[in-house]
Structure 1
Amino acid sequence: MELRHLRYLVAVAEELHFGRAAIRLNISQPPLSQQIRQLEEELGVRLFQRTKREVRLTEAGRRIVSEAHQVLSQVDHFAKVAARASEGEIGHLSVGAPGGVNEILVETLRTFADRYPGVHIELQYMSTGMQIESLREGRIRVGFVTLPIHDTTLTLEPIKKEPLWVALPKGHALARHKRVPVAALADQRFILFPRRVTPGLHDSITAMCRNAGFNLHVVHEVDNIVASLTLVRAGLGLAFCAPSIRYLWKDIVFRPLQQSAPPIEYAVAYKRGGQSPVLDAFLGVVRQVAQKKT
């Protein structure tokens, strides 16, 4: 028995006329009659009472037609689910993101949820270093990371670039500068993220300081920007950050650096060869939002 047999059965049952059912199915009548007879033989019951004047369903036929309707309805549902899944409209996506505020991430999640309500997003907060490891191992499918990253197993799409600024406690002597000279940071105590959090940016910052003639004096290591700026606010040191964070911390002074400093560059990352319809749809929204924000 095949699905076409059920469709033939339903058509004849609804038309109660083999000729009209054949026209509806776009086949000739003799093959339709033959298929119905084969179905009756396979089931071992008579589905229709046939006379020269009419065609009527038997009791067994009525039962089988009712079941056939349910099967065909379920098949149609499966087809619709498969079509939606192939377009990325339903499914699950695990997303990695750093702590703190990321306007592209926020706008992407909002827009994606509006367009694809059938997709469940699992958001996991983790550092860039943890995201790289999680992408390799398949624990997340896409991540919002800080560049540079040197990993040939990942595809990296830059989405935003910001200058490197320094965060100072209110009343700090360096706050009088409109732009802080990098060399002036030589004797300062710093709160910095561990290298494992964002290895590339960590290396760029320490190289900048060495080029200015000093090694960065790190007194505290924290793994997220909120903890870092909390310590700055408490007067325990200075921190490097992106300027976009400054609007949320009114009692901290934020200043750009005088000399050229490595930018903070953000990217969306995903594993090479690991794309899916849901991921493609998500990346499409990321690109659209990133383009609008630049």
Structure 2
Amino acid sequence: MELRQLRYFVTVAEELHFGRAAERLNIVQPAVSQQVARLERELGLQLLDRSSRHVRLTGDGERMLREARAVLAAADQASEVAADLASGRDGLFRIGAAPGLRDRLERGLSTLRARTPNLEVQISSASTAECLTALRSGELDVAFVRGEVAAADLQVVELWRDPLSVLLPMEYRCDDGVKLIDLAGLPLRLASDPWLRDELAAACRAAGFEPTIGRPADDLEAAIVEMSTGAPAWTVVYGTACEAAEGALWMGPFAPPMSAPGQLVTGDGHCLDELVAAFG
């Protein structure tokens, strides 16, 4: 599915006439018909009811029209921001970011500000799902998230990988790396992170056991206090830096090592190469 196909479909849907749509788009009518038909084949949906006398939206077409307009609006917004960045004009650059990315964001923004000194930046901490929704609606220009991202309507580039570290009672310490099977008897406490939850569940099953899920650990500091003073449990953090309770908990690597992809996500039309160069 391409932005061009969505744009052609939206124009036809608004005109309800292929000829008038072609005139608006300043292209020949067969090209419009071909691209809309290709979009329907790729989606497996009939979006338009065609006859010799009229063109009408189907029920699927009406719903798809709303989504297509949202995607195009987000793409147009991203293009405007990219144009401002490329030309050096002042503007607001809105970033969605997972927690713990301060160093990467500071390095990247320093690079961008070298070219656009008065660039105004607004950073929001949000989950991956929230970032994707905001990108599609045009509320964000770019997002930096962890985990795999499936979003055919957005540009996704893996910029880095974060090691996954295990945080657990000191008696389970293993400097050579903790094996998952050795944690089978401990409850697993995780933040509300769907990718990390699914990744660990799959890894535990591959190691031969079903993890026992404990209470959520959305507030890591509170979870550390609870784990160091209460019932034994384990959790997983991104990276290798974490303030563990001295003497009670230990943080270290898995054996074999595990890691999470760090992704740059933006709308189509953004200056992707420049963003990769700045934040990579």
- Verify same fold: TM over 0.5: yes
Measure the CA separation in 2 of the matches of 1:156 and 1:253: 34
Mapped contact 1:100–1:225 kept (Cα < 8 A): no
Q: 2:236 aligns with which of 219, 223, 240?
A: 240
Whether 2:119 is the aligned partner of 1:119: answer yes
Deviations 1:264-288 (A, max 9, x none): 1101101224x2xxxx38x625524
After TM superposition, the structure 1 = structure 2 runs for residues 128-143 of structure 1, keeping only pairs within 5 Å, are 128-143=128-143
Query: Does the CA-based 8 Å contact 1:192-1:228 persist in structure 2?
Result: no
1:259 paired with 2:256, answer yes
Alpha-carbon contact 1:182-1:259 (below 8 Å) kept: no
Instruction: Name the SS for the 2:214 alignment partner.
Output: strand
1:212 is matched with 207
Q: What percent identity do the matched residue pairs reach? A: 23
* AA of the residue aligned to 1:188: L
1:95 offset after TM fit, Å? Answer: 0.4
Tell me which residue corresponds to 1:191: 189
Larger Rg: 1
Change (3 A) 1:268 1:166: same
CA deviation digits over 1:58-101, x for unaligned, max 9?
Answer: xxxxxxxxxxxxxxxxxxxxxxxxx9776143111110012234
Q: Is the 8 A contact 1:104 1:286 kept in 2?
A: no
Which residue number corresponds to residue 287 of structure 1?
277
Query: What do the CA deviations read for 1:145-197 (whole angstroms, capped 9, x no partner)?
Result: 1121111111111111123220124xx22114531111011111222122xx3
Unaligned segments of structure 1, at least 5 residues: 1-82
Instruction: Report the Cα distance in structure 2 between the residues aligned to 1:120 and 1:222, rounded to whole angstroms.
Output: 34
Structure 1 residue 136: Cα displacement = 1.7
Please give the alpha-carbon distance, in whole angstroms, between the structure 2 residues aligned to 1:177 and 1:269. Answer: 35
Structure 2 stretches lacking a partner, 5+ long:
1-82
Aligned to 2:177: 179
Secondary structure of 1:149's partner? coil
Kept in 2: contact 1:92–1:120 (CA 8 A): yes
Cα distance between partner residues in 2 of 1:167 and 1:182: 12
- Distance change (3 Å), C-alpha of 1:253 and 1:260: closer
Question: What does residue 63 of structure 1 align with?
Answer: none
The structural deviation recorded for 1:253 is 1.9
Q: Would you say the 8 A contact 1:148–1:201 is kept in 2?
A: no
SS of the counterpart of 1:164? strand
Instruction: Describe the shift of the 1:287–1:192 C-alpha distance in structure 2 as closer, same or farther (beyond 3 A).
Output: same
What amino acid maps onto 2:128 in structure 1? T
- After superposition, the Cα gap between the structure-2 partners of 1:88 and 1:202, relative to the gap in structure 1 and judged at 3 Å, is farther
Residue of structure 1 in register with 2:104 after alignment:
104
Distance 2:218 2:114 in 1: 32
CA separation of 1:204/1:126 partners in 2, compared to 1, >3 Å: closer, same or farther? same
Instruction: Calculate the TM-score normalised by the size of structure 1.
Output: 0.58
Aligned residues: 195
Q: Which residue of 1 aligns with 2:216?
A: 221
**CA separation of 1:102 and 1:177: change in aligned 2, threshold 3 A:** same
